[in-house]
Amino acid sequence: MTAAAPPHVGRRSIRGGGKARLRALTPYLLMAPALLFIAYFLFWPALGAFGVAFQTASGQWTLANFQSLVRDTDFGLSVRNTFLLLAIIIPVEFAVALGMAVLAQSRLRGRGFFLYVWSFPLAISDLAAGLVWLSIFTSHGYLNSALQSLHLIQHPIGFLNYDNLPGLVLAVVAAETWRSISLVMVVIMSGIQAIPADLGEAAEILGAGAWRRFTKVTVPLLKPTLQVGLMLRTTTAFQVFAVVLALTGSGLPVLATRTETWAYGARNYQMAAAYAVLLLLLSSLATMAYLTTLRTPRGVFQR
Amino acid sequence: MSTAVATRAAAVPGRRVEPGRLLLYGCAVLVTLFMLTPVYLIALAAFSPPQAIFDYPHPLVPVGLSLENIQFFLTYQGIGPALLRSLAVGALTVVISLALGCPAGYALARYWFSGKDLAQLMLVNVRAIPMVIISIPLLVTFLEWNLYDTVASVALVHAAITLPLTILISASVFLRVPSELEEAAMSLGTSRVGAVLRVVLPNSVPGLATAALFAFVTSWNEVFVAVILTLRGPTLPAALVQQLAASPLAFRFAGGLCLTIPAFVFIFFMRPYLFNAFGVGGK
């Protein structure tokens, strides 16, 4: 967004100091309500979470919440599962989304239709995605039905059984990828569109084939976009919640479902906040890792 | 018409289809199938007769059409009110988000002021804040305010979540209204506020409608904050989460379909703005 020249500055400033001062204040007065609102309902509570996590219910500063956190039965599991999902989902999603973005850019016929279908999950909630894939992965669901009809299995596989970790992970990865790959695709497409077309043409004239143009021109110039996309997507992947809940119940505990269990089920806000603070710290660490390993001159989350 | 088709058909054999392009189409069709098959299957599950849930293996084509599951879901205790509450939260979110966001967007579009870059940076960075972390302190705040478990509390947070995007979209919308129009109106005797109300806003309706739609969809889809901030008065996704463990599969499938279908309508109208809203490359 570029700054438009203020159309009226100077013209009426002859009328005197009071009015001119008011005019100088106008943009601040226009911005203030929105920014204060965001600060109060988003930034302030984010800080407040630390207060809740480091205090007892009666308001004394303590580390006890974190001591109970690491003793929580599902603590280790929820950390492991969150990272496990992240480590599978992010690479798969970015690889496929990169392909989708390139496909959508190559002048295929029916491009509008493809783009529409590929982007509709942008408007789907994680809960809906979980429920959609539940119909596929239940023991009498469509995946087992299809496999059985093709005589590939004799008995239905319990993908979502408590003790079937690969099955649970497969289901969550499928649903979460299906839901969020559109976002990654759109992010990457906006980056590809910002690459000057003549660079690719120049490479073509110099004899580079499609694959070489992709790896030597497109991908390097996409690095800033990929960095921002990775940070954005990793932050949301750390918060994976309703997909896991809808598909696995409590079979695959992750950080966000543990937070909800302590807040909603147990009404223990200190424990819930401790989980949330841990989640924020881990996702901040990941963001910093991306910033240092994929260093570019752009600012964080800069458009 | 028929001659046009004939010449086209005649032209095709001359132009050989490259195998590379065929491969591209193959990939595109594969991705499309990956996107649409789950929607087809959930629709199949939701529209099957209730007893068909227990058939195994399920047929992968429709055998009978039944609205019983959908009806069961919509008339299930608490779902109707939750649906209305979701609509109310969404509407209130849109109102707050536009009321606070449009003035800010106007400031970004029409004024230069020091601190502007900082404000924009803050707006773009807001999406890095996890919903999980803000919901617990907000829960405590709303308990103190006696707003816990109300439509207003959820709408306030949803408005805050959607505000950055509303501001950025409305700023880009206002930028497209030439400031000469405003000046012309003012030279005809109206004040700046009058010019905004009579010239800028009427010319911005389609763009602002999209901003409103984005805000509504975000609110409609938001699960975590709604689950934490409500108990007896949940929104539709929160009500579904509450019922998840206890409800039969037919209920969950019908619920899944009901939450999925609006997305096709939403995205249809949001398409022109997808890159504005979700893109990060660009300028």
Would you place residue B210 in the very low, low, confident or very high pLDDT band (cuts 50, 70, 90)? confident
pLDDT for B164: 92
Displacement of CA A196 from its chain's centroid (Å) = 28
Taking alpha carbons only, the member of B177, B19, B158 closest to residue B86 is: B158
Does residue A65 surpass a pLDDT of 60?
Answer: yes
pLDDT for B15: 56
A89, A177 contact by CB (below 8 A): yes
Q: What is the mean pLDDT of the segment spanning B11-35?
A: 80
Would you place residue B229 in the very low, low, confident or very high pLDDT band (cuts 50, 70, 90)? very high
pLDDT for A221: 87
B110 CB within 8 Å of a chain A CB? yes
Between chain A and chain B, the number of residue pairs with CB atoms below 8 A apart is 353
pLDDT for A4: 46
Does residue B9 surpass a pLDDT of 60?
Answer: no
Name the H helices within chain B: 2-14, 19-47, 68-75, 79-110, 116-125, 131-144, 151-175, 179-187, 192-195, 201-221, 224-229, 236-243, 249-270, 274-278
Q: What is the mean pLDDT of the segment spanning A243-270?
A: 91
How many angstroms away from the CA of B199 is the closest CA of chain A? Answer: 15
A101 CB within 8 Å of a chain B CB? no
Does residue A215 surpass a pLDDT of 70?
Answer: yes
CB contact under 8 A, B221 and A123: yes
Burial class (CB in 10 A: 0-12, 13-18, 19+), B137: buried
How many angstroms away from the CA of A197 is the closest CA of chain B? Answer: 14
B191 CB within 8 Å of a chain A CB? no
B155, B92 contact by CB (below 8 A): yes
pLDDT for A9: 46
Does residue A16 surpass a pLDDT of 60?
Answer: no
CB contact under 8 A, B135 and A263: yes
Does residue B5 surpass a pLDDT of 70?
Answer: no
pLDDT for A77: 95
Max avg pLDDT among A15-29, B70-84, B94-108, B174-188: B94-108
Max avg pLDDT among A80-89, A110-119, B174-183: A80-89
Does residue A122 surpass a pLDDT of 60?
Answer: yes
Buried b (16+ CB within 10 A) or exposed e, B91-104: bbbbebbbebbbbb
Chain A residues inside the 8 Å CB shell of B160: 37-38, 40-42
Q: What is the mean pLDDT of the segment spanning B43-60?
A: 86
CB contact under 8 A, B224 and A127: no
B131, B161 contact by CB (below 8 A): yes
Taking alpha carbons only, the member of A300, A28, A236 closest to residue B122 is: A300
Taking alpha carbons only, the member of B23, B149, B171, B282 closest to residue A3 is: B171
CB contact under 8 A, B134 and A45: yes
Percent of chain A with pLDDT over 90: 54
Mean of per-residue pLDDT scores for chain A: 87
Q: What residue of A is the nearest CA neighbor of B167?
A: A34
Residues 6+ away with beta carbon under 8 Å from B233: B81, B85, B149, B150, B151
pLDDT for B7: 45
pLDDT for B16: 62
Does residue A299 surpass a pLDDT of 70?
Answer: no
Indicate the range of A96-100, A186-190, B90-94 predicted with least confidence: A186-190
CB contact under 8 A, B237 and A242: yes
pLDDT for B282: 34
pLDDT for B17: 66
Would you place residue B218 in the very low, low, confident or very high pLDDT band (cuts 50, 70, 90)? very high
State the DSSP string of B41-80: HHHHHHHS-GGGGG-SSPPSS------HHHHHHHHSTTHH
CB contact under 8 A, B107 and A41: no
A278 CB within 8 Å of a chain B CB? no
Per-residue model confidence as pLDDT tens digits over A88-108 = 999 999 999 999 998 988 878
Q: What is the mean pLDDT of the segment spanning A206-217?
A: 84
* Chain A interface test: which of B92, B136, B161 (most A C-beta within 10 Å): B136
Does residue B261 surpass a pLDDT of 70?
Answer: yes
ipTM > 0.95 (yes/no) = no
CB contact under 8 A, A245 and B241: yes
> Is the pLDDT higher at B131 or at A177?
A177
Buried b (16+ CB within 10 A) or exposed e, B138-167: bbbbbeeeebbbbbebbbbbbbbbbbbbbb
User: How far apart (Å, rounded) are the C-alpha atoms in residues A85 and A77?
Assistant: 12
Nearest to B260 among A33, A115, A128 (CB): A128
Burial class (CB in 10 A: 0-12, 13-18, 19+), B111: buried
Would you place residue A301 in the very low, low, confident or very high pLDDT band (cuts 50, 70, 90)? very low
A152 CB within 8 Å of a chain B CB? no
User: How far apart (Å, rounded) are the C-alpha atoms in residues A302 and A226?
Assistant: 12
Q: How many CB atoms lie within 10 A of CB B242?
A: 18
List of E strands, chain A: none
Q: What residue of A is the nearest CA neighbor of B214?
A: A123
Q: How many CB atoms lie within 10 A of CB A105?
A: 15
User: How far apart (Å, rounded) are the C-alpha atoms in residues A146 and A95?
Assistant: 27
Chain A residues inside the 8 Å CB shell of B274: 119, 122, 186
Per-residue model confidence as pLDDT tens digits over A233-245 = 998 899 999 999 9
pLDDT for B279: 58
A146 CB within 8 Å of a chain B CB? yes
Chain A residues inside the 8 Å CB shell of B115: 28
Q: What is the mean pLDDT of the segment spanning B236-261?
A: 91
Q: What residue of A is the nearest CA neighbor of B172?
A: A1
User: How far apart (Å, rounded) are the C-alpha atoms in residues B169 and B101?
Assistant: 9
CB contact under 8 A, A136 and B38: yes
Nearest to B267 among A116, A125, A187 (CB): A116
A133 CB within 8 Å of a chain B CB? yes
Mean of per-residue pLDDT scores for chain B: 86
φ/ψ (deg, to 5) at A224: -60, -40
Q: What is the mean pLDDT of the segment spanning B46-63?
A: 84
B109, A242 contact by CB (below 8 A): no
Does residue B185 surpass a pLDDT of 80?
Answer: yes
User: How far apart (Å, rounded) are the C-alpha atoms in residues B154 and B89?
Assistant: 7
Q: Which two tokens stand for residue A37?
A: 């609102």
CB contact under 8 A, A189 and B275: yes
A98, B31 contact by CB (below 8 A): no
Q: What contacts 24+ positions apart, CB below 8 Å, involve B72-81?
A: B72/B250, B72/B251, B72/B254, B73/B250, B73/B251, B73/B254, B73/B255, B73/B258, B74/B254, B74/B258, B76/B243, B76/B247, B76/B251, B78/B234, B78/B239, B78/B243, B79/B236, B79/B239, B79/B255, B81/B233
A127 CB-side CA count, 13 A: 27
Does residue A275 surpass a pLDDT of 70?
Answer: yes
Indicate the range of A148-152, B10-14, B79-83, B251-255 predicted with least confidence: B10-14
Q: What is the CA radius of gyration of chain B?
A: 25
Q: What is the mean pLDDT of the segment spanning A202-212?
A: 85
Q: What is the mean pLDDT of the segment spanning B189-214?
A: 88
Does residue A269 surpass a pLDDT of 50?
Answer: yes
User: How far apart (Å, rounded) are the C-alpha atoms in residues B281 and A229?
Assistant: 9
Buried b (16+ CB within 10 A) or exposed e, A71-103: ebebbebbbebbbbbbebbbeebbebbbbbbbb
Q: Is the pTM for the entire model greater than 0.80?
A: yes
φ/ψ (deg, to 5) at B223: -110, -50
How many angstroms away from the CA of A161 is the closest CA of chain B? Answer: 14
Nearest to A46 among B107, B134, B141 (CB): B134
CB contact under 8 A, B280 and A191: yes
Q: What is the mean pLDDT of the segment spanning A12-16?
A: 48
CB contact under 8 A, A34 and B163: yes
